[in-house]
Amino acid sequence: MICTFAKKLFENPSNGYCVALFQTDDSSVPEEARKKDKWPSSKITFTGFGYKIPATDAIQLDIIGKWKKSQKYGIQFAIEQCAEIVPPTVEGIVGYLSSGLIRGVSEITARKITDKFGLRALEIIEKEPKRLSEIRGLSDKKIERIVESFSRNKELRNIVSFLSPYDISLNKASKIYDKFGVKSMEILNETPYDLCAVKGFGFLTVDKIALKVKCKPNDKMRIRACADYLMTEFEAKGHVYVPQQELRDACFGQLNQGFKITAVTADEIRNALIEEIRAGRLVNNNGLIYHPMMFQREVELAKSLSDRSLLSPPEWGDVEGALDRAQAKREITLSDAQCEAVRMCFHNNLSLITGGPGTGKTTVLKVIIDVYRDLTGSDDILLAAPTGKAAKRMAEGTGMLTAKTLHSALGLTKEEDKEAHCSIKSGLVIVDEMSMVDIRLAHRLFRNMDSKTTVVLVGDVDQLPSIGPGNVFRDMLQSECIPVVRLDTVFRQSGVSRIVLNAEKIRNGTTGLFYGNDFNFIDTASEEETLEMIKRCYFDEVKKSGLEHVQILAPRREMGETSVLHINNTIRDIINPYVGEKNELYYDGRRFRIHDKIIQNKNMDGISNGDIGVIESVFTNDDEKFAAIRFSDGTEKCYAEDALGVISLAYALTIHKSQGSEYSTVIIPVLMRYYHMLKRNLIYTAITRAKKKVILIGEKRALMAGIHQNDSSKRNSLLAERVKQYVGDKK
């Protein structure tokens, strides 16, 4: 049916879904579908809905679909396919180009194009785009944007239409085009499992699409994609490898889910996995299955650690004298364990220091730095940590001018960087918050560090392990091949903080906690009441301490009224309400406003994963919206609206995301609905983020249950065993 867009009634920007009024001369429109009273016109007016419908009356639309009737909305046209018909006139082409469908084309630009090429303007853009450079005033950058947007707009409409039954957002559909370009529809129809290579398209989503386009359930591509998905899922849970039979069983369960009879046999899975191993896409190490890169990282890291542990340390000179002078200078007396930690660092090439809050780790680091300077007369020292916040705390705590993130020290400016761009040649390297470092980052660190460097790794082994695969710091300790000192005496202030005392109790699995002004528990009867109390406490504490010093930490990111996503939206709408569209940006279903508190979720040049900032302004440049963000260290960066996937609201964070950070006050919901997530190390990590005050809100039995649940779920890793083996082989 040929029609024209008349009026938008509803739009969901996150997936491109639109309900609108359309006008046509086509008499086949059912009488009951015609809008005669509300929309008087000589044309026939009706309601239609679909995805990525061009919202402009500058062109005609050729739509294909079906009439659908609902009790609430009556008869409407469900648009399945939509083709643009641009009027074959100069004015029609100008109207189309300047309608907003093509990025970067104003009416002035559209007229420049038609003045030059007349009725061939669209043909030139599509088939001879280089000729646009003949137009005076069109920069190469603008031409590139026009051509890309023209092509993208056409292809994206087909992709969105094809994927509309699967609730795929417009942003996700755009990622398909970004990956495959004009071949996108061919991929969707012929080799849909290739979509698994697109970020945001997991096997579960792709499998629904693939089975719909007639892929056989036992297709080798399906089994391969499933195995890769499951390997990635195991890695997301912290495992470096998967036992072979466990992978086979998981594949069998996943591939046959939803089928009444066995669709894929165990033999078909076994044979497909054998092919994957022969092709080098998986590694079988004595019945343990690895991704090839993961196997390489574990082996190479174990060799690096064993080599360093066996190297003789430099000839430092009088370490004891330097240690005495450092204590005298700082007017302190270290405990025996603290002195032993300092000596260990100068008697070995690689050393480990572990201890909880208040056990004097920072004091030990200060003295190590003093002793190094005394013995070498040099400041050739690198302080590093996994996150920007942790690095900043490290620099402040030790009195050093700077500390770097590990990514920065290695020259890894982007998350996806495969190789480090910098080698580390400092005489002394101290890495803090080592429990946060996964096997990928640890491998890069030791691979790119000079063998003569003295390395000190510091952390709290009782905190949550790294988000990424492996349990590197714990594995190093358990290898028993690397020198270690455990600091276990609490030294903080005379009136010892209840936070520190309770951290020690929780670490030991003791539930008899001390409560008072700096450590509160507020009982609530429901999740709704918990949310209300979180809001009340948050606003009270922000008034006292300021926005940047108060942080809500929740166990769960999604689902529920006390999830991070729900708390963030609730708090933001109160503390920073909507004041107009021009002050907002929209990305994949999420809104951002001027003055929003945000967190960076990806390493980028000059900005680290975990950095906190505030949106200072929203502005438009060359028809594109931008957010100007100022981060807590003063760094400023502008983000285009379509690049806001790397940030999220930060009034509330997950406990995992808060690792390496400290706040004056933390507010933590603890409810039985999180029972499966509430583990001792999660609670321990959450409360040790607070410097001055902890407020726990919820059910006390949930807190007690969590303290009793020691996270004994072992991560599959052979790092400790490999280090032992390599050290034994070399002795």
User: Which residue ranges are tagged as binding site for ATP?
Assistant: 358-362
What pairs with residue 8 in β-bridges? 20
Contact 383, 392 (CB under 8 A): no
Give the C-alpha separation, 338 to 289, whole Å.
42
Buried b (16+ CB within 10 A) or exposed e, 250-280: bbbebbbeeeeeebbeeebbeebbeebeeee
Contact 680, 205 (CB under 8 A): no
Annotate 253-284 with DSSP letters as a single string.
HHHTTT-SS-SS-HHHHHHHHHHHHHTTSSEE
Buried b (16+ CB within 10 A) or exposed e, 414-434: eeeeeebeeebebbbbbbbbb
Give the C-alpha separation, 632 to 443, whole Å.
30
Question: Which residues sit in the known binding site?
Answer: 358-362
Alpha-carbon 238 to chain mean position: 15
- CB atoms closer than 10 angstroms to residue 717: 22
189's CB contacts (< 8 A; 6+ apart) are 213
- CB atoms closer than 10 angstroms to residue 554: 28
Coil vs helix vs strand at 563: coil
Strands 590-593 and 584-587: antiparallel
Which regions of 327-439 does DSSP assign to beta strands (E)?
350-355, 381-385, 404-405, 428-431
Token pair listed for 681:
């190390």
Give the angle 312-313-316 at the CA atoms, nearest 5°: 140
Give the C-alpha separation, 172 to 184, whole Å.
13
Token pair listed for 333:
């007396």
10 Å CB burial of residue 718 (0-12, 13-18, 19+) is buried
> Tell me, what amino acid is at 464?
L
Q: H/E element holding 533?
A: helix 527-545
Give the C-alpha separation, 435 to 464, whole Å.
7
Give the C-alpha separation, 721 to 564, whole Å.
38
Token pair listed for 662:
């400290």
Q: Which residue's structure tokens are 């020259």? A: 411
Give the C-alpha separation, 380 to 294, whole Å.
32
Q: Which residue's structure tokens are 């065993």? A: 721
